[in-house]
Structure 1
């Protein structure tokens, strides 16, 4: 009788398992380095201080976070993150310096402009401390008078004022005016009067007439005389006046019915002193 020999059973062969490798999270450190470089380069231009500051703050946050990952073994670019942090700090320093330089330059420019305007006014002011104009007047004959008018007294209708740069302003007498039905600035029961303002440019440079303003007060109480606007009056001066040329504009003002005089004040621009004319109504 034969016996059947049985062989032991072995489990199938399995290769040893390799430990799973963790993927390095290097993105924050790399981003910190890139933003730090851009921020530092932007900081080299003072006027770009704002961009350097923003990028510096972002790069600093990303760089510190990237270094934290590297310390925990989640990233392998600890040096890159450190470089990003250093460049971020450099960007912030350049941003602070650029802001100081920019604001200081703007402040110096404003001070220089104010000083220039003040010097111009001081140079053109009369030695007596009166208005800037020479004060030569014109009684309507077309010839300039050598007599200087009293700075505390308004000019009369038809008189002219000649400024130091030979810019001449003349205001005519006040003439009754009937505003149109759709006129603005006219109150029912009031009287409207029109005056003609003529600017003659005898200087060597063109004059920007758009800055000229004309205002008025009426009566012994000096109430504001509102300017009237309709299709005929109220447009004001426009454009420039070339040397040797003149421009004329008609203004209309609304006055109380009982007003006996109209004081018109004309200012050619902020570089000139205002001059007043006292017109009889």
Structure 2
């Protein structure tokens, strides 16, 4: 007589089938139910954003800092790189990020960027200060030059009888003009004008001989008009010319014709070398 078996292989008598493994663990699943395995939990994504941001900002900060004119904005990305790099490094130490090297690089670049920004700021300040100091020095030099030129200009305006020493050592004195009577035949003297004689004394106060290259003066009347040079045959006029030895003196005499209305005052312009030295001026009354 056979014992009927169920569909799952067990005997209806409650006895295990002949092929049953007595050592297998009992099944906890109901008959005909396949057990479900749990789904795998995905690992947490690494938080690498801080390290990447720190690296990018560090590069930007250093790049801007290398341009002197942009140093004033380079400190901001460098400072942010320092902050984000510190946060990224903290995440890496806690195992929340996998780009520790990138965070450290961003942190270091942030520090370097700040140093470059500070150095660029110092260089800019020193450059501007140097430029301002140079500009002020030039202004002072120009002012001194103007003052010196004004003083020299004032020194070249003298009264009759005073002396002026030029740069080559020639000391020049122009005496007060004296009346002059031209010969009957004279060039440059109109009838009714007042003729005056201008006497110029030159002394070489230097240690070398000096050439007198422009020994002819210019005379202006009281109205500022140029007076005519009088030339006659009297032989009383003498033109300064040639070399003058050290310690020697030369005297030049010239006659000029002044109109009656402007004959009361005159100005004499003279330079022993008009190419090298500006004229000196002697003025005063002719009466």
TM-score range, shorter chain: 0.3 to 0.5
| Greater C-alpha Rg | 2
With the length of structure 2 as denominator, give the TM-score of the two structures.
0.45
